[in-house]
Structure 1
Amino acid sequence: MTDSLSARIELLGLQLPPPSQPIANYVNQVGTQNRLYISGQIPLVDGKPAFIGRLGEAISEEEGVKAAELAALGLLAQLSDALGDDLSKLGRILRLGVFIATTPDFQRQGAVANGASNLLVNALGEKGRHVRTAVGVCSLPSGVAVEVDAIFELLP
């Protein structure tokens, strides 16, 4: 398997988007010691928020999975920006946080979060396996259905 993240993404029939830019007073990534923290990423299509609405209301579970995949692609774009597309510097994903805008009765957050988890494992192999939190919330930035953040382990 190649150490080029963009090549791995292309093998999945996908393309890394350009890394998004912060929309408020924060930075997209912070590296310290052997960790890289990446801020929450939302699903974007052509740089615009996609999948607007809540699961259990305007967004179906299948659409939620797609939203999670798109948000995970945003994470990988940030990772590529930080590492220069070189996965030999990546130890693994340590933690994935998945936030899902839902109605109070929606209970399949884990299934939606699998969209992000599956994409990351498919793209990164064993380096993509992670611990995860999937949380239902009442709303997210720009009204999107899903937001993901992550902590990565970096190799010296």
Structure 2
Amino acid sequence: MAGQIDARLAELGIEIPEAAAPVANYVGYVISGKTIYVSGQVTIKDGAFHYQGKLGDSISIDEGVAAARLCGINVISQLKAACGGDLDKIKQVIRLGGYVNSTPDFGDQPKVINGASDLMVEVFGDKGRHCRAAVSAGSLPFGVAVEVEATAELE
């Protein structure tokens, strides 16, 4: 039987992929006590990188928002793996860290990371409200436009 969060995802038309395997010497998430720490998730979908480039140059704000949303979907996939497939075990999304591959003069990082923040609230409701950072990065792995990490609490 699908849980409330799975039902909400279906209602929103969002498919959560299998959690992506790490591309270097780290793990996708770590659980310490009741806290889940999710490694930075990039704009990978169906095995390919999307939204490669810099905000303020080749990537528009709307594309950046979509990139952050895709990172958020990948964060949720790691949370799902950490919960043994049951996202209803998430008590609270605590924090997101958002990194935006941008030019030195680009200042709309918060607008971009709203793509991931809005997704967390859409999916988890009040449990998705979180604190966060939205910062510029001179470059990101594989030239992606956005990377998002997360911290969440288990029931």
Tell me: CA distance 1:98–1:54, structure 2 relative to 1, closer, same or farther (3 Å).
Answer: same
* Pairwise CA distance, 1:9: 1.6
Q: What residue is the counterpart of 2:91 in the other structure? A: 91
Unaligned 5+ segments in structure 2 are none
Q: TM-score, normalised by structure 1?
A: 0.94
Residue 16 (structure 1) shift = 0.6
Which residue number corresponds to residue 144 of structure 1? 144
For 2:58 and 2:109, the matched residues in 1 are separated by: 15
Q: Which residue in the other structure is 2:112 paired with?
A: 112
Provide the secondary structure at the position in 2 that maps to 1:92.
Answer: strand
Quote the offset at 1:143 in angstroms.
0.4
Q: Do the aligned partners of 1:99 and 1:147 also contact (CA within 8 Å) in 2?
A: yes
- Tell me what 1:129 maps to: 129
Matched pairs, number:
154
Distance 2:150 2:22 in 1: 16
SS at match of 1:77: helix
Worse-superposed segment, 44-53 or 124-133: 44-53
Mapped partners of 1:87, 1:19: distance in 2: 13
SS at match of 1:15: coil
Displacement after TM superposition at 1:4 (Å):
4.4
Q: CA-to-partner distance for each residue in 1:34-81, whole Å, 9 max, x for gaps?
A: 100000000112121110000000100000000000000000011111
Identity %: 45
Q: For 1:145 and 1:117, how far apart are their aligned partners in 2?
A: 16
Report what 1:54 is aligned to.
54
After the TM superposition, which of the residue ranges 11-20 and 132-141 deviates more from structure 2? 11-20
The CA distance in 2 between the partners of 1:89 and 1:22, in whole Å, is 23
In structure 1, C-alpha distance between the alignment counterparts of 2:104 and 2:61, rounded to whole Å: 15
3-state SS in 2 of match to 1:10 = helix
**Matched ranges for 1:15-26 at <5 A:** 15-26=15-26
TM-score for the superposition, normalised by structure 2 = 0.95
Say what the alpha-carbon RMSD is for the aligned residues. Answer: 1.2
For 2:28, the equivalent position in structure 1 comes to 28
2:102 alignment partner in structure 1: 102
Alignment match, 1:77: 77
Aligned structure 1 segments of 4 or more residues deviating by more than 4 angstroms: none
Which amino acid is the alignment partner of residue 119 of structure 1? L
Matches of 2:136 and 2:48 in 1, distance apart? 23
Which sections of structure 1, spanning at least 5 residues, go unmatched?
none
